[in-house]
């Protein structure tokens, strides 16, 4: 039995212009099966991945934004969003999808998955990881 490692997936791309966001999300969901300690970071244009209200009905693309809601069921419930990246883009926390997870150790209480962190906090989080994967 191998030891558990801290994995962080760093998302830096907007959702539809390139395939990074979708590919990254799929890797996270696949990786969730390996019972590691997984978190995700959203910095730069990556914060746009979590923008609520995405609707691709007029543009003939796959709207994969609902898939982020499944992350909590895979115990991926630490999504760190850099505050400075939001502010530089004219966004705030209320613009993001209200992602939650259910804590089985706390009577299945519904808790927020998204944590807004400062650039300095994110720097510390990156330093604390064993494995960092960028998309």
Partner 1 sequence: MLHTVNKSPHDSSSLRTCLSLAKQGSDLLLIEDGVYGALSGSIHSDTIAEALNNVTIYALGPDLKARGISEDRLISGIKVTGYDGFVELATVNDKVQSWL
- d(Cα 76, Cα 121) in Å, to the nearest integer? 19
- d(Cα 20, Cα 34) in Å, to the nearest integer? 22
Q: Are 112 and 100 in contact (CB under 8 A)?
A: yes
Closest to partner 1 by CB, 33 vs 57, is 57
By CB under 8 A, tell whether 134 contacts partner 1.
Answer: no
Q: How far is the CB of 102 from partner 1 (least distance, A)?
A: 25
Token pair of 72 as six digits: 């909590």
- d(Cα 60, Cα 74) in Å, to the nearest integer? 28
Judged by CB under 8 A, the residue of 59, 105, 106, 127 near partner 1 is 59
By CB under 8 A, tell whether 114 contacts partner 1.
Answer: no
Judged by CB under 8 A, the residue of 2, 90, 104, 106 near partner 1 is 90
By CB under 8 A, tell whether 63 contacts partner 1.
Answer: yes
Closest to partner 1 by CB, 48 vs 80, is 48
By CB under 8 A, tell whether 123 contacts partner 1.
Answer: no
Q: How far is the CB of 11 from partner 1 (least distance, A)?
A: 13
- d(Cα 53, Cα 77) in Å, to the nearest integer? 21
By CB under 8 A, tell whether 13 contacts partner 1.
Answer: yes
Q: What angle do CA 72, 77, 80 make, to 5 degrees?
A: 135
């Amino acid at each position: 039995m191998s030891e558990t490692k801290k994995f962080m997936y760093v998302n830096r791309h907007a959702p539809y212009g390139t395939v990074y966001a979708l590919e990254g999300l799929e890797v996270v969901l696949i990786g969730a099966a390996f019972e590691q300690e997984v978190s995700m970071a959203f910095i730069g244009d990556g914060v746009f991945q979590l923008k609520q209200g995405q609707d691709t009905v007029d543009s003939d693309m796959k709207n994969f934004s609902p898939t982020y809601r499944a992350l909590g069921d895979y115990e991926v419930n630490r999504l760190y969003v850099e505050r400075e990246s939001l502010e530089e883009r004219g966004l705030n926390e209320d613009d993001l999808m209200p992602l939650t997870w259910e804590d089985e150790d706390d009577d299945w209480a519904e808790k927020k998955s998204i944590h807004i962190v400062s650039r300095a906090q994110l720097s510390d989080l990156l330093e604390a990881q064993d494995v960092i994967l960028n998309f």
